[in-house]
Structure 1
Amino acid sequence: MPHPTRTAEPLPFERAPPSHHHQPYEPAMVLRPAAIAAFDALVHEIHPDAARVDADRLERLAGWLAQLPPAQARHAIDTRLRCLQDLRAMAADPAWDCDSATRRRLQRLFAYVDQGEDLIDDRVPLLGLLDDVLLIELTWPAFAAEAEDYRDFRAYLQVEHPAGDAGEQRAAWVRDRLAELALLQHHARVSDSHYANGRTPEPVFRVT
Structure 2
Amino acid sequence: MLASRPPASPGRRRQVGPCCINPRGLDRFNELLASLGQAVPLACDQIVTAARLLEDEPGAPLAPPPCIGLRLAGAEPLARLAVDEGWEAGGAPLKDVQAVLHYLLSPDDLIPDWVPRVGRLDDAIVIDRAWPRIGEEVAGYLDFCRLRLLEAGLRGERPGRFRFTRDEWRVSRQAEAELRAHQRAVRAGSYLPAGANRFRVH
TM-score (structure 2 length as normaliser): 0.68
Separation in 2, partners of 1:14, 1:139: 18
In the alignment, is residue 68 of structure 1 matched against residue 57 of structure 2? yes
Amino acid at match of 1:170: R
Separation in 2, partners of 1:180, 1:51: 42
Indicate conservation of the 8 Å contact 1:24/1:63, yes or no. no
Indicate conservation of the 8 Å contact 1:25/1:62, yes or no. no
Separation in 1, partners of 2:100, 2:174: 31
The alignment's C-alpha RMSD in Å is 3.2
Deviations 1:10-65 (A, max 9, x none): xx21349xxxxxx99645231233222210110121x2256632212212211221
Q: What's the offset of the Cα at 1:183?
A: 8.7
Separation in 2, partners of 1:25, 1:115: 21
Q: What's the offset of the Cα at 1:75?
A: 3.3
Indicate conservation of the 8 Å contact 1:14/1:51, yes or no. no
| Percent identical | 26
2:24 equivalent in structure 1: 34
Amino acid at match of 1:148: A
The one of 43, 48, 56 aligned to 2:33: 43
**Unpaired runs of 5+ in structure 1?**
1-11, 17-22, 186-208
Cα 1:171/1:181, change in 2 over 3 Å: same
Answer 1 or 2: higher relative contact order, Cα 8 Å, separation at least 6: 1
Amino acid at match of 2:167: A
Cα 1:49/1:31, change in 2 over 3 Å: closer
In the alignment, is residue 122 of structure 1 matched against residue 113 of structure 2? yes
Q: What's the offset of the Cα at 1:169?
A: 4.4
Secondary structure in structure 2 of the residue aligned to 1:151: helix
**Unpaired runs of 5+ in structure 2?**
6-12, 156-160, 182-202
Cα 1:15/1:60, change in 2 over 3 Å: farther
Aligned residues: 168
TM-score (structure 1 length as normaliser): 0.66
Cα 1:85/1:58, change in 2 over 3 Å: same
Separation in 1, partners of 2:15, 2:67: 16
